Amino acid sequence: MQTSMQYKFTYKDIHRMLPGIIGTYIIMGVLFYALGLPVLGLLNTAGGAVLLLLRLTGLTRRTKMASLLIFLQMLLHLAAASFTLGSYSGFYLYIFIYPIFGLVSFSKKEMMVVIPISALAFSACVFLPPPDTGALSYSALTIFFGLNAAAMAGFSFYVFYQYFKRNQELLGELNRMAFFDMLTGLCNRRAMTSLLKERTSGKLLLLDIDDFKKVNDTYGHPAGDEILQSLAGIIQQEMPPEGTASRWGGEEFLLYLPEATVPETNALFQRILKRFARLTYPGMALSVSGGACALADPPYHSFSCADNALYQSKTNGKARLHWAELSS
């Protein structure tokens, strides 16, 4: 996963774009051959073959190397086409590829190299060759200009579309990390706290796995993670549709039941307790203790109340539910 808040293109993106670039080289090569320009045709065909080899050998995994090779090859092709056909052919438009790609991929230091080189290449391809060398008719040059402009527009659209799409995916992943527990799939403490700040009624049920430290000490943390996931699955299956379950921390789970009565909350706890106890683990009897209370405003009073009730359940023998009254 990306560690930055902003998505940067990787070798996978270059790998994905290469077929389109190779296809463009081949189409241009065929056009040049058909127009009686074998040198440009050979140059484009060879360029497409090099990029195809780059893709097949997996060298695109070395992102900077692949980018440099494509950049140098592109400059060679643009210079050859511009000086052979003239600046009216519009091949200089492709020089904008790297500044555009760099905006969503390169660091500031790399852009300080790319932009000056691109500016020099653009000036050389626009101002040094004549507008029309006579190699093609004016109408043919106009067609080439249109093709090149369309190709650049398509490339720009693709790059920015992928960039914004990936950033939306990254933002979604960051939101999931911020508000959901990655191990159990339940919402986390932050999400539950935010939710309860907006609620004024309902019941809270705080669950804690009994003797969970023994599980980690005896069987290791992978076994503990498996048990946490199993309990989270049971909770999700037993929760009423309007309720919300969270991993409150460690082996604690906080359930918010906005419409449940006391008997309904008791019944929910018993279902969870019985199903969890039926899980078989060598040498381990699995159980949960619970503390419950009504939700109050501000909610942190309720958190403390549920925690105190949970403590009473542990003190009184575990595998049971204790209700507590809110204190002012």
Spell out the domain ranges in the chain: 11-178, 189-323
CA distances from 212 to 186, 228, 263, 316 (A): 19, 10, 28, 17
Question: In this structure, are residues 68 and 127 in contact, taking their beta carbons and an 8 Å threshold?
Answer: no
pLDDT(189) > 90? yes
pLDDT(54) > 80? no
* For range 98-114, the mean pLDDT: 76
pLDDT reported for residue 57: 79
Segments in the chain forming alpha helices (H): 11-34, 38-56, 63-85, 97-103, 108-127, 138-179, 189-196, 212-219, 221-238, 262-277, 299-315
Q: What percent of the chain has pLDDT over 70?
A: 91
Please tell me the number of Cα atoms within 13 Å of 101 on its side-chain side.
23
- pLDDT higher at 102 or 232: 232
The pTM for the full model equals 0.58
Mean of all residue pLDDT scores within the chain: 86
CATH placement of domain 189-323: 3.30.70.270
| 208-226 confidence digits (pLDDT tens) | 999 998 888 888 889 899 9
- pLDDT higher at 275 or 11: 275
pLDDT reported for residue 70: 77
| Tokens linked to 248 | 């409150």
Using 50, 70 and 90 to split pLDDT, how confident is the model at 233? very high
pLDDT reported for residue 60: 59
pLDDT(145) > 60? yes
Measured CA to CA, the distance from residue 232 to residue 122 in angstroms comes to 60
CA distances from 252 to 189, 207, 209, 228 (A): 10, 6, 7, 9
In one-letter notation, the amino acid at residue 209 is I
Using 50, 70 and 90 to split pLDDT, how confident is the model at 117? confident
How many CB atoms within 10 Å of residue 47? Answer: 22
Using 50, 70 and 90 to split pLDDT, how confident is the model at 147? confident
Measured CA to CA, the distance from residue 180 to residue 187 in angstroms comes to 4
Annotated catalytic residues are 251
Using 50, 70 and 90 to split pLDDT, how confident is the model at 63? low
Please list, in sequence order, all residues whose beta carbon lies within 8 angstroms of the beta carbon of residue 135, skipping any fewer than 6 positions away: 37, 84, 85, 86
pLDDT reported for residue 9: 61
* For range 298-322, the mean pLDDT: 93
Measured CA to CA, the distance from residue 40 to residue 182 in angstroms comes to 55
Q: Which of 51-60, 231-240, 259-268 has the lowest mean pLDDT?
A: 51-60
| Tokens linked to 1 | 């996963």
Question: In this structure, are residues 235 and 255 in contact, taking their beta carbons and an 8 Å threshold?
Answer: yes
